[in-house]
Amino acid sequence: MYREFYGLREKPFSKTPDPRYLFLSRGHREALARLQYAVEERELALLTGDIGCGKTTISRALMDAMGEACRFCFIFNPRLSPLEFLRVIARSLGIDNPAGAKDELLKQLTETLYLMHAEGRCPVIVVDEAQLIPDRDVFDEIRLLTNYQLDDQNLMSVVLMGQPELRQILADPVHEPLRQRIALHYHLQPLSLDETLEYIDFRLEVAGGTPGLFSPDAVQRIHELSGGVPRKINILATNALLVGYGRDAAWIDASLVEELRDEANLY
């Protein structure tokens, strides 16, 4: 369809968190660098940002950047009991049959973590959508994971990612012990207008196209409608390409984007 019409090899504005399409704005570059440092130092890190700002994509880019020295455990749905949470981690670390009793499970985790340390590998636990954690006890388990350590370093790194309300949740006094262990905090901001232009052109080039397909006024309208949130930019840009293809439009202008305001379901 529109891919051939606009000379694209693949969809440039897909919703999947493909690290190839990670546009490193100033904020994204700093977030990735800070997370790399946290993993290298085996610390607990907190990354927040509005829905669609690119947190999950950054976590995938982090995994690629750290390479084989780290074993990543991604928890995408943290609506778990404390025991379920630990069992998910155990399976991700290669424990085929996690124990049902907590004391046995902790023993299995301890043995695995020391074995991985001896092999020179660092487990990295990434908890996405952490604002959905339903139980204070799960946050306590996350805090207790940082107790796995040697005299000079921790045995794992933990990255908590979530929407801005995660910071409000953690501000509760009951979470003070966990907050004190968070070595790195970063909040990911939406893209500026200039970054939105660079973002759109960057993704077009990665997909095999050429920059400039969207006129400057089209980019400005996309930025206004999306608020600079990458996921919303993707929705608008994809719909604009589809409509442009249907109209044999050689490029995308602001009038075309304006027609998509309601269709993109941004408000």
The model's pTM is 0.89
The confidence score (pLDDT) of residue 91 equals 96
The confidence score (pLDDT) of residue 267 equals 45
Residue 237's contacts (CB-CB under 8 Å, 6 or more residues apart) are: 12, 13, 200, 203, 214, 222
Is a pLDDT exceeding 90 seen at residue 6?
no
The confidence score (pLDDT) of residue 263 equals 59
Percentage above 70 pLDDT, the chain? 97
Reported as a single tens digit per residue, the pLDDT across 28-52 is: 999 999 999 999 999 999 999 999 9
List C-alpha distances in Å: 169 to 136, 163, 166, 205, 252: 10, 10, 5, 40, 42
Torsion angle of the four alpha carbons 53, 198, 196, 18, in this order, in degrees rounded to the nearest 10: -30
Reported as a single tens digit per residue, the pLDDT across 121-161 is: 999 999 999 999 998 999 999 999 988 888 778 999 999 99
Residue ranges covered by each domain of the chain = 2-21+191-258, 26-188
SS3 percent helix, strand, coil of the chain, rounded to 5, is 50, 15, 35
Average pLDDT, the chain: 93
Average pLDDT over residues 190-205: 97
Q: Could you say which of 3.30.930.10, 1.10.630.10, 3.30.530.20, 3.40.50.300 is the CATH number of the domain covering 26-188?
A: 3.40.50.300
Place of tokens 């390479």: 67
Reported as a single tens digit per residue, the pLDDT across 203-261 is: 999 999 999 999 999 999 999 999 999 999 999 999 999 999 999 998 899 999 988 87
